[in-house]
Amino acid sequence: MIRVDCRLKAISVLLLVLSASPLRLIAQTSSYDQFSSEFQLARAINDKWAAEGYFGSTFSNTPSESRIFKTNIQRYFMGWIHYYYSPRWKISSSLAYFHNKDVPDIGQYESPEWRLSLQGTYFIHKIGYTLSTRMRGELRYIMNANGIYEDKYRYRQQLKYLKPINSKFLRQGVFYAQVNDEIFIKPKARSKGLTFFDRNRFEIGGGYLITDDLQIELTYVNEFLPRDVVNELYHVLSLTISFNNPLENLRKRFSSEPEETNEDN
């Protein structure tokens, strides 16, 4: 336990150092305001396995359009499968499709992308809060400006803190706060220069469990992308709505048997 705590502390220090890095001052910075929404559908298969589907969309201002909701820069679908190896470890994999158009980081053109991810998450559950660290490797198959698909690789490391506010545990009627920071690294990029460190993503906000199977979350995301010429900074308002076992809950609601009545002959 002491060894794991030390590792988490080291990751925390690394994330803080990178988020406050002087790389921000090397080049000029272009700033963008965005709004993103995501619907998550989750279903438990058994005690060890679970599946999820994400549907998301992002709106943003662009160099040619100042109004945020005028340009839909990204739509995506993501399917996840999770294996709960132990109460502390969760192993996950996903296949996703992103329809990118006018994404500032990619360019002002259509750039469809297929993405395969392998992820491991380690949890430290305590009474009153949960601390987790997530390790994710991504293989991206994305179209470039010439209409040719390219393989790109990326590694992501996240540290997250989640705390229920009006209860010690997450359940119906409970508000919670969460904060996380994630760094993105492109292993096959140049070993020198700014492109090896892809970006830093800081997120803070909270949510509410309307029922045990329905929750809503609203967060602010600050995403910083250091680049050789012009850095990029995204200010994102993110809305997430999550449903657990939605089809099963609907089936139970509409297939409930009517109460039996006794009639005297």
pLDDT in tens, 5-22: 555 555 555 555 444 444
Query: CB within 8 A of 166, min separation 6: which ones?
Result: 173, 174, 175
Tokens 């997430």 map to which residue?
Answer: 240
Strands 149-164 and 175-185: antiparallel
The CATH number of whichever domain residue 12 belongs to comes to 2.40.160.40
pLDDT at 15: 53
Q: Is residue 72 one of the residues assigned to a domain? A: yes
Half-sphere exposure of 254 (CA within 13 A, CB side): 6
89: confidence class by pLDDT, cuts 50, 70, 90 = very high
Q: Is residue 28 one of the residues assigned to a domain? A: no
Q: Is residue 164 one of the residues assigned to a domain? A: yes
pLDDT at 253: 65
Contact 63, 104 (CB under 8 A): yes
What are the tokens at 231?
Answer: 């850095």
The pLDDT of residue 195 is above 90: no
Q: Is residue 26 one of the residues assigned to a domain? A: no
Half-sphere exposure of 42 (CA within 13 A, CB side): 15
Contact 196, 189 (CB under 8 A): yes
- Say which residue, 218 or 29, is predicted with more confidence: 218
How many domains does the chain fold into?
1
Summarize pLDDT for 101-131 with one digit per residue, the tens.
Answer: 989 888 778 999 999 999 999 999 999 999 9
Summarize pLDDT for 138-194 with one digit per residue, the tens.
Answer: 999 999 888 999 999 999 999 999 999 999 999 999 999 999 999 999 876 544 445
Q: Is residue 206 one of the residues assigned to a domain? A: yes
Q: Is residue 152 one of the residues assigned to a domain? A: yes
Tokens 């709106």 map to which residue?
Answer: 59
pLDDT at 125: 93
Contact 54, 43 (CB under 8 A): no
Average pLDDT of the chain to the nearest whole number: 86
pLDDT at 191: 41
Strand partners for 94:
80, 117
- What average pLDDT does this structure show over 252-256? 65
Flag whether the pTM goes above 0.75: yes
pLDDT at 63: 83
Summarize pLDDT for 211-241 with one digit per residue, the tens.
Answer: 999 999 999 999 999 887 889 999 999 999 9
Please state, for a pLDDT cut of 90, what percent of the chain lies above it: 67
Query: CB within 8 A of 227, min separation 6: which ones?
Result: 27, 194, 195
The pLDDT of residue 86 is above 70: yes
pLDDT at 228: 78
Q: Is residue 65 one of the residues assigned to a domain? A: yes
| Enclosing domain of residue 14 | 2-21+33-254
Contact 177, 163 (CB under 8 A): yes
Q: Is residue 79 one of the residues assigned to a domain? A: yes
